[in-house]
Structure 1
């Protein structure tokens, strides 16, 4: 039995070791491509390293030099998501490189999703073609990944909201204008929390989900009260009513169009439920284009 256990564990250990060496090589390559001047450091005349030194990366990332050296030596050490986040910023990683870093470290990026492989130019064109109907793309934890101009003005001026706060849960529980735009706020809160709990069941150990839940608990006593009821509901299309500051009340039918086989990113569309709402959405679209002064 001991032999079988050792034989089963060996492939996993080899895979972990391969990832560590790949992570070490990736960090070195990204460190060496950054000129000291890019991060406010003086190059000096004795510098032999083509880019940053290890101790400079460690200092800029607020981690120990020995610890970072071990990381580049593929030592078997634990790496926290906060340290990975700091390294990604120091090494100026783009979104794809940042994702690669976290994958090599066997960790989940806790940062709110502001990009998604599903957001292609073709999908953005589809969002535009749906005008004047409001439409956006969200992931399963309500991060807003893309949206058209009508959606941008439907509940608030979404362009003015920092990217890290563009999450429907955060906005509906903490953003005053967004909250005031929802006609049936109490019912909406209950359904959103129940739907969020159902979705979170498959992501309980992921830092991004845990950080969002922690933020909602810290910033909204109302959310805490609803969350502690442990209600669960699945995805469903339903009618919604919004109170827009430019055009007044609009009634829409909400539809989710899933972009992947699993319940991940989805296109959310709002089609007018009556002619008056259609006219008001058309007016809102004109305002969003800047062709009218509200």
Structure 2
């Protein structure tokens, strides 16, 4: 992508960010602001991407953006069809129509932010993390520290070394999570979002290669689990899962100690 095109992309993103107020997406007012609209870090949280990565986009840095990231930004910015297609073209992608990413309403994306300091996130059908708050970032290290694609909770559990430390009972937790992914994949046969993730997990994890043929199935649910937050000892958390009314495959998960 040429420098002029990157500059135009940054200008377009900033113009759309500045037209959205915190109230538009359910965020509380934090007093006087130096610039109109959402702050960069607020938009990044709504889109489920790194604030630094988003800042680079507005600054016209020479970085490549995936269709998943662009789709998340388009949803958070409330772009209409024409604006969405313009965003994709500026970023060097031919069309927004071919992406298989799942959108999240801006009002729903704001909910985890309102639940701070309780760790909370919204996951999609294939466990992509669509929105999260700072407490979730702190409880699950490196969950959202990805570039060019949406973070994914199953990928984190099976490929992130920190997951085996945070999840005290890693093996049963991981097996249950894989069983729930299996159930959801059955609802979306041959969907590329699932097939790519499952292939990636098989390549990366010997446990997945061992457990997947067993064909365990589960549904998403709440419960209790033992976690080891970074810098602390083992702590028991209760967690609750709520399905979004208009998108039943999308789930809000909230954690509370005790």
Using the size of structure 2 for normalisation, the TM-score is 0.61
Instruction: List, as ranges, runs of 4+ consecutive aligned residues in structure 1 with deviation greater than 6 Å.
Output: 87-90
The answer to whether the Cα contact below 8 Å between 1:137 and 1:265 also exists between their aligned partners in 2 is yes
Equivalent residues in 2 for 1:121-200, closer than 5 Å: 122-162=107-147, 164=149, 166-200=151-185
Distance 2:174 2:230 in 1: 21
Judged with a 3 Å threshold, the aligned counterparts in structure 2 of structure 1 residues 158 and 230 are, in CA distance, closer, same or farther, namely closer
The answer to whether the Cα contact below 8 Å between 1:134 and 1:269 also exists between their aligned partners in 2 is yes
Q: Work out which of the residue numbers 117, 126, 129 in structure 1 matches 2:104.
A: 117
Aligned twin of 1:250: 235
Judged with a 3 Å threshold, the aligned counterparts in structure 2 of structure 1 residues 246 and 163 are, in CA distance, closer, same or farther, namely farther
Q: 1:159 deviation in Å?
A: 4.6
The answer to whether the Cα contact below 8 Å between 2:121 and 2:131 also exists between their aligned partners in 1 is yes
The answer to whether the Cα contact below 8 Å between 2:237 and 2:255 also exists between their aligned partners in 1 is yes
Using the size of structure 1 for normalisation, the TM-score is 0.54
Distance 1:36 1:160 in 2: 26
The answer to whether the Cα contact below 8 Å between 1:156 and 1:177 also exists between their aligned partners in 2 is yes
Q: 1:38 deviation in Å?
A: 2.9
User: How much is the aligned-residue C-alpha RMSD, in angstroms?
Assistant: 3.1
Larger Rg: 1
Unpaired segments ≥5 residues, structure 2: 7-84
Distance 2:87 2:157 in 1: 30
Q: How many residues align?
A: 181
Distance 1:223 1:200 in 2: 15
Equivalent residues in 2 for 1:88-127, closer than 5 Å: 91-92=89-90, 98-99=95-96, 101-102=97-98, 109-110=99-100, 113=101, 116-118=103-105, 120=106, 122-127=107-112
Judged with a 3 Å threshold, the aligned counterparts in structure 2 of structure 1 residues 90 and 177 are, in CA distance, closer, same or farther, namely same
Secondary structure in 2 aligned to 1:255? strand
The answer to whether the aligner puts 1:201 opposite 2:199 as a matched pair is no
Structure with a larger share of its residues in helix: 1
The answer to whether the aligner puts 1:212 opposite 2:197 as a matched pair is yes
Deviation digits for residues 235-277 of structure 1 (CA, Å, limit 9, x no counterpart): 221111111122332211121111135531111111222xxxx
Secondary structure in 1 aligned to 2:187? coil
Deviation digits for residues 140-198 of structure 1 (CA, Å, limit 9, x no counterpart): 21101111111111021445333526111111011001222101111011111111111
